[in-house]
């Protein structure tokens, strides 16, 4: 038996399917086109709507604040350093600023300077020498005093340990220790042993007496000795500090620097000027 295909049996079915496929494609094409048109129309409306919106108001730009200049750093001032006060040697026997008093002895006790010279051109009762620097300064002071009409004479200059001992022991024998200690230094405690001290008097007299301080020579020396490096060592009323009664004839060489500083500061005593304790007793 010969079989027949479906087309042969149902010839109209194939044709109907083809027609249906064409219609379906046409619907799809029409739908896509319609969607595109709608999209275009919608987009155009949107563009039209946007283009017809009023332009937004633009606020004027705020002025930028002026930059604040960075302040320059304030320079730190350099600290003011006060100069340290000068330091003076008050212990070494050969020092021009050595301090010898009732509580301060020379060390060694029999120390003697090695630069002793006799001042030239100055009347000198015992011919006592002084240390070279003190002698040269005394010669200058003598010339100035002579020019002022008040020349002076040297009563006593350098006295060694043994001569001072003889003088002190003699006063002790005369009036006792308390009597001797009022006006005379014990051996090794005398400024005369340093070679820097000198006793002076003038033409008016008053040798080794308090009245010398009232003479023209005594007044001139008191007021002018500092210019030559000398100071009046034992002032009136200063016994509680220096240990001795008023001796207007006793001058001590300390150099122009110290003597001038003491004069400018109205300082009477070497102890207080150098920061040393008073020395009223042995």
DSSP 104: B
* CA 252/CA 131 separation, integer angstroms: 12
Contact 116, 164 (CB under 8 A): no
From 247, 257, 267, 271, the catalytic residue? 247
Burial of 85 (0-12, 13-18, 19+ CB in 10 A): exposed
* CA 238/CA 274 separation, integer angstroms: 16
Q: Tokens in use for 154?
A: 């040297």
Helix residue ranges, H only, the chain? 6-9, 11-51, 132-147, 161-175, 177-183, 216-224, 239-242, 256-264, 270-273
How many angstroms from the chain centroid is the CA of residue 123?
Answer: 48
**CA dist 48 to 41, 51, 57, 67, 213, Å?**
10, 5, 20, 46, 126
| 247 assigned to active site | yes
> Read out DSSP for 176-218?
-HHHHHHH-PPTTS-GGGGT-EEEEEETTB-TTSGGGGGSHHH
b/e map of 143-159 (b: 16 or more CB within 10 Å)?
Answer: eebeeeebebbbbbbbb
Q: Give the residue numbers annotated as catalytic, written as ranges.
A: 247
């Amino acid at each position: 038996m010969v079989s027949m295909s479906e087309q042969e049996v149902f010839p109209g079915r194939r044709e109907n399917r083809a027609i249906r496929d064409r219609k379906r494609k046409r619907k799809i094409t029409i739908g896509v086109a319609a969607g595109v048109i709608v999209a275009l129309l919608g987009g155009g409306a949107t563009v039209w709507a946007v283009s017809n919106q009023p332009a937004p108001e633009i606020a004027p730009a705020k002025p930028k604040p002026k930059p604040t200049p960075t302040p320059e750093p304030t320079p730190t001032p350099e600290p003011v350093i006060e100069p340290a006060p000068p330091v003076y040697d008050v212990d070494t026997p050969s020092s021009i600023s050595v301090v010898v008093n009732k509580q301060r002895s020379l060390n060694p006790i029999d120390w003697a300077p090695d630069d002793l010279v006799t001042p030239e051109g100055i009347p000198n009762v015992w011919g006592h020498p002084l240390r070279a620097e003190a002698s040269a300064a005394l010669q200058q002071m003598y010339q100035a005093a002579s020019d002022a009409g008040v020349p002076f004479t040297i009563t006593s200059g350098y006295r060694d340990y043994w001569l001072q001992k003889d003088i002190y022991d003699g006063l002790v024998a005369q009036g006792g220790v308390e009597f001797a200690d009022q006006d005379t230094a014990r051996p090794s405690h005398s400024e005369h042993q340093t070679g820097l001290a000198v006793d002076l008097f003038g033409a008016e007299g008053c040798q080794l007496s308090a009245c010398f301080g009232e003479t023209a020579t005594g007044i001139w020396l008191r007021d002018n000795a500092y210019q030559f490096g000398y100071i009046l060592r034992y002032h009136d009323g200063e016994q509680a500090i220096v240990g001795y009664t008023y001796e207007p004839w006793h001058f001590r060489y300390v150099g122009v620097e110290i003597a001038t500083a003491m004069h400018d500061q109205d300082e009477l005593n070497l102890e207080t000027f150098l920061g040393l304790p008073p020395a009223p007793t042995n």
